[in-house]
């Protein structure tokens, strides 16, 4: 179900989005070789709760942590652990949301751990650029497929692969609302975009193939073991164009 928000509801969402954005920033600052993913989780969680908010992911569908932290070939839903230690040359995706005043937020970024290869720099750059192009395409009157097509075109033109099994989504009073926002598709397909929609756009991009599989603990990994990147913003659609809410 697609839920269009009133202006005052979007103002409330901005508060939870800001908290999630700062939590992501603080998590990113902590990333370096030798740090555990549980340490990163605790940093983000501590900030969220210090602002009177609740981590959106904690206990969501049974997820045991406040932040999804996915390393290298892990696409999404990585579980923080005191036994997972970041190594020089890794890439690590941090996905975090906050719930405040009745509204959720959702954002993610993939960070380099120390120095990484040129191929991985390219992966991160393309994935982040595809997100920004997807956001640019999110204009009132277009269709959801315009976002999807912009992401796919950017990624595939650079010789990389969009994950098709997982998608972006509406976000608001529920962490996941309609419509689904795939990272591939026809610009003329999908729901019509209207002012007041709030969407989490989140390209997931692989170096190898688009194929993924889910491990027994729920973590999604690339089927061929190649590396994957993930970037995400929560945005609001307005008559003046898309507005990124998860900025700090």
For 124-179, the pLDDT digits (tens) are: 999 999 999 999 999 999 999 999 999 999 999 999 999 999 999 999 999 999 99
pLDDT digits (tens, 9 = 90+) for 206-247: 999 999 999 999 999 999 999 999 999 999 999 999 999 999
User: Cα dihedral angle (41, 42, 44, 48), rounded to 10 degrees?
Assistant: 130
Nearest CA to 145 out of 90, 182, 95 is that of 182
What does the angle CA 174 – CA 212 – CA 69 come to, to the nearest 5 degrees? 55
Note the pLDDT of residue 210: 97
> Quick one: what percent of the chain has pLDDT higher than 70?
100
Average pLDDT over residues 177-190: 97
The secondary element (H helix, E strand) that includes residue 93 is: strand 91-96
Domain borders along the chain are 7-244
Whether the predicted pLDDT of 90 surpasses 90? yes
Mean pLDDT of the chain: 98
Note the pLDDT of residue 49: 98
Note the pLDDT of residue 1: 84
CA distance 122 to 80: 26
Note the pLDDT of residue 78: 98
Average pLDDT over residues 15-31: 98
| pTM of the predicted model as reported, rounded to 2 decimal places | 0.97
What is the CATH code of the structural domain delimited by 7-244?
3.90.230.10
Average pLDDT over residues 191-200: 98
Average pLDDT over residues 86-90: 98
Task: Return the structure tokens found at 191.
Answer: 């729901």
């Amino acid at each position: 179900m697609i839920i269009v928000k009133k202006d005052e509801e979007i103002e409330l969402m901005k508060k939870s989005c800001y908290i999630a954005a700062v939590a992501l920033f603080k998590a990113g600052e902590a990333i370096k070789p030798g740090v555990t993913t549980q340490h990163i989780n605790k940093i983000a969680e501590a900030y969220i709760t210090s602002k009177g908010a609740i981590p959106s992911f904690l206990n969501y569908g049974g997820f045991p942590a406040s932040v999804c932290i996915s390393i290298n070939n892990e696409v999404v839903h990585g579980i923080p652990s005191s036994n997972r230690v970041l190594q020089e040359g890794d890439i690590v995706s941090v996905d975090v949301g906050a719930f405040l005043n009745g509204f959720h937020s959702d954002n993610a970024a993939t960070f380099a751990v120390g120095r990484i290869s040129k191929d991985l720099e390219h992966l991160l750059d393309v994935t982040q650029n595809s997100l920004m192009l997807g956001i640019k395409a999110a204009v009132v009157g277009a269709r959801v497929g315009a976002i999807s097509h912009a992401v796919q075109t950017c990624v595939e033109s650079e010789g990389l692969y969009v994950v098709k099994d997982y998608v972006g989504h509406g976000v608001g009073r529920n962490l996941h609302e309609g419509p689904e926002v795939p990272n591939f598709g026809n610009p003329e397909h999908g729901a019509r975009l209207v002012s007041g929609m709030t969407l989490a756009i989140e390209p997931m991009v692989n170096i190898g193939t688009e194929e993924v599989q889910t491990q027994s603990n729920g973590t999604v990994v690339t089927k061929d073991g190649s590396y994957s990147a993930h970037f995400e913003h929560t945005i609001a659609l307005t008559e003046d164009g898309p507005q990124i809410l998860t900025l700090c």
